Every structure is written in structure tokens, then in C-alpha cells.
Amino acid sequence: MSDSLSNKVDVIIIGGGPAGMSAALVLGRARRHVLVIDEALPRNRVTHESHGFLTRDGIAPAEFRQIAREQISAYPSVSFVQETVTDVTGTDGHFEVKASSGTTYQGAKIIFATGMKDAPLEVKGLQDVYGKSAFVCPYCDGWEMQDRPTAIIAGDHALHLARTLSGWTSDLIVFTDGSPRPDEEVEQLSSRGITIYDAKIREILSEDGQTHAILLEDGTEVPRTSIFFAPKLISGSDLPQKMGCTMTEFGAMQVDEMGRSNISGVFGTGDSASRMYQIAAAVSSGSLVGVVINSEFLEQDWENR
């Protein structure tokens, strides 16, 4: 499909990650005409491996996307373009999607699969180790970091992360980075032998992406070889909100159990509409939305026969 597309497709999917491509696969197999618009800037590009997806455990994120694209290419009614979407307007059955190139695409349904993005990391040196020895998801990377001396960098989520990570290592230290926790949380952590540092972090000391220590503003240097931290996330796109979609307090689209937003014809899937930030969950979500949309088309087609 060329960038000068003028024909209307059945579904425009904004975002080509696991959720978006899963929906595209289902819809392509259902012989629907689908356009996937992707800017090729996935959140997980910082990491070397993705885990927890059956048959693809440990796969590189780029390889996962490549395999998905290759398999979807078997269905000629699905096309991909690399673009950044700047605006979405219209109503159910008649949507227009504008891209930064100036191209306008038309589709009957819209799926937002734009995920979430990390806000800029404020701790000096954290970006250097992110995806190498610093991670955000214990279920995704806890196995690889098991039994290591681990730093938890978190404020509000410190207790949750400590409780979760205790299944992979007993050597935990919490760094609140200047955000002291309530006495009840401190008691829970301390009673389990978990030290808490409230001082601001000056820098993460590392070499070639491997963490060596946490250096605090007061000069204290605490040896650690792995980090789990609570990221600050922002929506991968402000377009759903601009369209009038209801959003959650966490910046995700508010959808029903079938992925429908409050705007008819507009769907959300994957991290765009969930706090379950895992590939398996995203693929499942995308598949469901694909089935739901195709069922709507089938019902319309049946009534019009």
C-alpha cells in the first residue's frame, strides 16, 4: 500500500507493537482490509530480550516484531506504513487519520495500540543501565536478576516492588530518592531485613550497562548489581484524549471488556488500555479486539445480505 492511499480500509491500527499486530493478524485472516500505521519507536527497544511469551521466551524485541511482520505478510489485505499520526477525526464508519507526512488515510474503525512511553529518567546514570541491569517488571526480568544484590528505586511503589521481588532475591535495599515512606511501610520493610535509604540519589555507577553501586547525595556508596525501579509512564499518544475518549487516572484509555472506548468505532488495546504491561497480555488483548471488530462487520454484512 503506498503512502498516497486514497481507498478506505476497514480498520486503521495506530501502533505496530504486539497488540496492534495481533489485531492485524486476526483481521487479516478474516479478509478485512487493514492498515497498520507505526512510528517504529517501541517502549521495549531499550532491552535485549523479552520474556514470558510462550514459544518466544528470550526473544529480542526487534526480532519479535520482524517475525510478526513476516507472518502477517501472508495476508495481502494487511498493509503497513511507517508514519507518525497527528490527528484522527470522524465518526464510526468514516474516520480520517492524518500523518506527519501530510497523507490522509480513511478507515471505518480505529484501533489505538500506541502503548505507553517512559517519561525521561531523572536519576543520573539510570538510562545507561536501563534494559541491561535495570528493569521495571519482575515477571519479565526477575529470573535473569535472581539472587543478585538488588536496588529498588521507588517511592509509592516501594513496598509492592519489594514484596514482588522477594520471590527472586532476598538481598533487597530500597532507595526512595528523597521520598520517605510512611511508618507502616518502613516497619514492614525493616522487619524483613530490608534497608531503606531516603537520601537523594546522585548517580548510578556502572560500566557497560552493568550496575556497580548506588551513589547517594550524602556520599554513601551502596554496592548493587541490579536495579528494579518504578517508571513514570505517559500515554503513547494524546490522540485518544483529543478525540474525546475517556481516560483513566494512569493515562490509559478506558475501555470495556471487549476493548470498546466510549466513542463508537474506536477501540483500545494492549498497554494503551491496560496496566498489564506484558507481551502475552498485549497479544491476547489485540486478538480479542480483532475478533470483536470483525464480528461487528459480519453482523452488518449479514443484515445487508
Q: Which fold has domain 126-229?
A: FAD/NAD(P)-binding domain (3.50.50)
Answer for the pair 279, 137: CB distance below 8 angstroms, yes or no.
no
CA–CA separation, 254 and 76 (whole Å): 32
Give tens-digit pLDDT for 148-177: 999 999 999 999 999 999 999 999 999 999
Cα first-last separation, the chain: 29
User: So what's the pLDDT on residue 48?
Assistant: 86
User: So what's the pLDDT on residue 6?
Assistant: 52
User: So what's the pLDDT on residue 7?
Assistant: 67
Query: Which part of the chain has CATH 3.50.50.60?
Result: 9-118+232-303, 126-229
Bridge partners of 96, per DSSP, are: 89, 106
User: So what's the pLDDT on residue 1?
Assistant: 39
Pairing label, strands 78-82, 221-223:
unpaired
Give tens-digit pLDDT for 200-249: 999 999 999 999 999 999 999 999 999 999 999 999 999 999 999 999 99
| Dihedral angle computed from the Cα positions of residues 301, 18, 106 and 250, in that order, rounded to the nearest 10 degrees | 110
CA–CA separation, 180 and 304 (whole Å): 63
Bridge partners of 266, per DSSP, are: 110
User: So what's the pLDDT on residue 50?
Assistant: 92
For residue 273, report the phi and psi dihedrals to the nearest 5 degrees. Answer: -135, 30
Grid cell digits, residue 39: 512510528
pLDDT above 90: percentage of residues in the chain: 93
Query: In CATH, what class is 9-118+232-303?
Result: alpha beta
Positions of the chain with pLDDT under 50: 1-5
